[in-house]
Amino acid sequence: MHNMPEWLNDAIFYQIYPQSFYDGNGDGIGDLNGIISKLDYIRQTGFNALWINPCFDSPFKDAGYDVRDYFKVAPRYGTNDDLARLFREAHKRGIRVLLDLVPGHTSDKCRWFKKSALPVRNRYSDRYIWSDNGWSRPDGYNWVTGNADRNGAYMLNFFLGQPALNYGFYNVTQPDWQISYRDKRVKPTFDAMLKVMRFWLDKGADGFRVDMADSLVKNDPDKTGTSYLWRKARKMLNEHYPEAVLVSEWCNAPVAINKAGFHCDFLLNHGNKLTDHAFYRRNQEGASAAYFCKTAHISATAMLSTYLRELEQTRDNGYISVVSGNHDVERLSYFLDESERRLAFVFLLTLPGVPFVYYGDEIGMRYIPQQSKEGGFHRTGSRTPMQWDADRVNLGFSTAPADKLYLDVDRRQDAPCVAQQTASEDTLWSHIRALNQLRHSCPDLQAGSPLRIEECDDGGVLCYRRGEHTYVAINPADKAQTLNRAVTNVLYISGKATARGNVTELAPQTAVIFQN
């Protein structure tokens, strides 16, 4: 791997939505000191890296993805000193911390935007994308007009209140308002983003997960202009912060890794990607057509085809990150029951690349449909507070009155909680902890070790080899199936495998990790 920080090879990431993780001061909202107080739990579960959703100052119209000040922690979470302390405390425990970088847009309350919106030309006039007059809203983009004294409309990236930062256009088709991405007038935009990165890296951050990483340069169909910018960021890291990493929200690993220079790229729930086939897919009638649904009886071939091709294309340059879910999709438990998720986690935690687990998925937290909060809409149900202890108020998330909580906790009697699962045997938590520990102790199972498919038949049985000696065999179905090899030297099993000569019968819903 070219200039790859070695720690990534053994990294297992845990994603924290900070407002929902743990409330350290009793105001009803999660905070940085709350995260610090739970670092031992994170380490105990076997995670050695964190990705924290945006924690910068914001008016929170989009849950913090509308940044008002990149250089300041949002007061609801604490202070810059608290974040620096989080880095130090995490590092003491061998845990790395990525922050969420939002480079595509800011809040319209950002100081940069307020200056860009002034009618008198100034150093921020080209920091955002403006049309050439207040009546002009060119086709193909979202615009706001009539909201500033400047004679122009400004482009939105996402919600109202998220004006698009100006990194230029790859193909300039309307030169009266579009600027080339190579023009010196837009260079300060990316320079400012590099300054943000250096600021937090100098305080102890270990890198960034980059929101909408492919969206910077506009009218850039092959992402050539956007990739040009990210390679500049990677060059800076290689030279000055060689242990720091960039993880892209791109979902196109060959472009994000090979062309743009990211260390890792997320596999999101996009159609035809591995995670869609494995976890989320439904047929036209709405029934699950996911590989890990026990009654779907889906071949693994389609699930793996795009993934294997992208794995081969990126093999020497970076890692593909498979995720259990995140703040933008319904929770894994919405799609798969616990017996199915146990097998899904064996798969997730034994694949190459760098895995990510969304907070609460390790105990089986549920998706809870509810009223939208801070631009969450349907996603709000995946952002509910972490469930720590069934015997404590608000399941141990916060001592605040229920009506003061950021979002309400799962109020059902059987809400899964950390205290109860860590005190019992054979819980989902103990299963995931054992898998994490096995991955850390077995170099064959780590990020850079090669993958080779050994068996992938139409019945649904999947067997793959990691490295030289370690095998993973999965029968996701609700019926026993045969693996055409003898299982010996079992490292971990969920279910039951019975070897008979040169074949092994895998009981319904069995996954086994073994060596020979």
Q: Round to whole Å and give the CA distance between 52 and 280.
A: 24
Nearest to 56 by CA among 78, 37, 35, 28: 78
Who's near 499: CB < 8 A, 6+ residues apart?
A: 486, 487, 488
Q: Round to whole Å and give the CA distance between 144 and 153.
A: 5
Range list of β-strands (E), 105-228: 142-144, 154-156, 207-210
Who's near 309: CB < 8 A, 6+ residues apart?
A: none
Range list of β-strands (E), 212-336: 245-248, 264-267, 319-322
Q: Round to whole Å and give the CA distance between 351 and 359.
A: 20
Tokens for 318, please give them: 């970076």
Question: DSSP readout, 102-156?
Answer: --SB--TTSHHHHHHTSSS--TTTTSB-B-SSTT---TTSEEE-SSSSSSS-EEE
Tokens for 139, please give them: 């086709």
The DSSP symbol for 164 reads B
Q: In a 3-state reduction of DSSP, which class is residue 65?
A: coil
Report, in this order, helix, strand and coil percent for the chain, each rounded to 5: 30, 20, 50
Active site residues: 211, 249
Who's near 286: CB < 8 A, 6+ residues apart?
A: none
C-beta neighbour count of 170 within 10 angstroms: 20
AA letter at 179: I
The DSSP symbol for 68 reads S
Tokens for 93, please give them: 């425990």
Q: Round to whole Å and give the CA distance between 37 and 17.
A: 15
AA letter at 415: A
Tokens for 47, please give them: 């995670």
Q: Are strands 510-515 and 470-475 parallel, antiparallel or unpaired?
A: antiparallel
Q: Round to whole Å and give the CA distance between 64 and 197.
A: 17
Question: Measured on CA atoms in the order 493, 272, 312, 97, is the torsion positive or negative?
Answer: negative
- Which residue is associated with the tokens 């993880």? 247
Helix 187-202, helix 224-240: angle, nearest 10: 30
Q: In a 3-state reduction of DSSP, which class is residue 116?
A: helix
Query: Phi/psi class of residue 106: alpha, beta or left (left: φ > 0; alpha: ψ in -120 to 50)?
Result: beta
Who's near 28: CB < 8 A, 6+ residues apart?
A: 398, 400, 401, 404, 405, 406
